[in-house]
Amino acid sequence: MTIGIVDYGMGNLLSVYSAFDYLGAQVKICTTPDDLNAVDKIVIPGVGAFKDCISRIDMNGFHEALDEHTRQKGKPTMGICLGMQVMAQKSFEGGEFHGLGWFDAEVIRLHPKNRDLHIPNIGWNEVLLNTSIPLFKGMPQKADLYLVHSFYMSCQSKTDIVAEYYYNHAVTAAVLKDNVFATQFHPEKSQDLGLRIIDNFITWNP
């Protein structure tokens, strides 16, 4: 079982790689679309702006390859932070840009009315998890997890949402649809609870 981490030119590759490697997974950094042929599961990491992310995915030929391996071949796929947002239909960060379109969702700016709540939201937040799904096996219903973001995924289908937190309004923290799972928080930076989620992904068989 090989986990492929997509390297499209931006993202927190080292910390994600280190988390999977620490848990004993066989990990491959995928620098070309062809590399996805040699992996069983896919991780899409990401930090930065949506526009740059989708542009690099398109430019490096990963858009079609990810559609093939994730949507057509059904390989279990996990997105992290910006890697989750790019799975939406479109984003309004710095304009309007189309994403991979795997979720019926739009990426919009956090909009807390409380002026004491800063944007970007950086730090630990209490996240309410749907612990009935295999990816949150062994997790508490409320978990302190680490987030760094200014935008979030607003889902049309609420059944896709498997975790939320409150930032003066409900914020999507994780989504799940068929063989695709994604988190707005950073499991690789969320200590033991985050590692448990990654370990659940390693053994996940949707």
Locate the domains of the chain by residue range.
2-203
155 is an active site residue: no
Contacts of residue 5, Cβ cutoff 8 Å, sequence gap at least 6: 13, 16, 17, 20, 27, 28, 29, 30, 43, 45
Contacts of residue 135, Cβ cutoff 8 Å, sequence gap at least 6: 162, 174, 176, 181, 197, 200, 201, 204
Q: Which 8-state DSSP code applies to residue 7?
A: -
Q: Give pLDDT, residue 179.
A: 98
* H/E segment holding residue 170: strand 170-177
Measured CA distances, 119 to 34, 112, 175 (Å): 38, 9, 22
Q: Give pLDDT, residue 119.
A: 93
96 is an active site residue: no
153 strand-pairing partners: 107
Contacts of residue 130, Cβ cutoff 8 Å, sequence gap at least 6: 136, 162, 163
186 is an active site residue: yes
Active-site entry in 30, 69, 81, 106: 81
Q: Give pLDDT, residue 107.
A: 97
Put the strands of the sheet holding 151-155 in their side by side order. 97-98, 88-91, 103-109, 151-155
Per CATH, the number for 2-203 is 3.40.50.880
User: Residue-wise pLDDT tens for the chain (206 aa)?
Assistant: 999 999 987 767 889 999 999 999 999 999 999 999 999 999 999 888 888 889 889 988 999 999 999 999 999 999 999 999 999 999 999 899 999 999 999 999 999 998 889 999 999 999 999 999 999 999 999 999 999 999 999 999 999 999 999 999 999 999 999 999 999 999 999 999 999 999 999 999 99
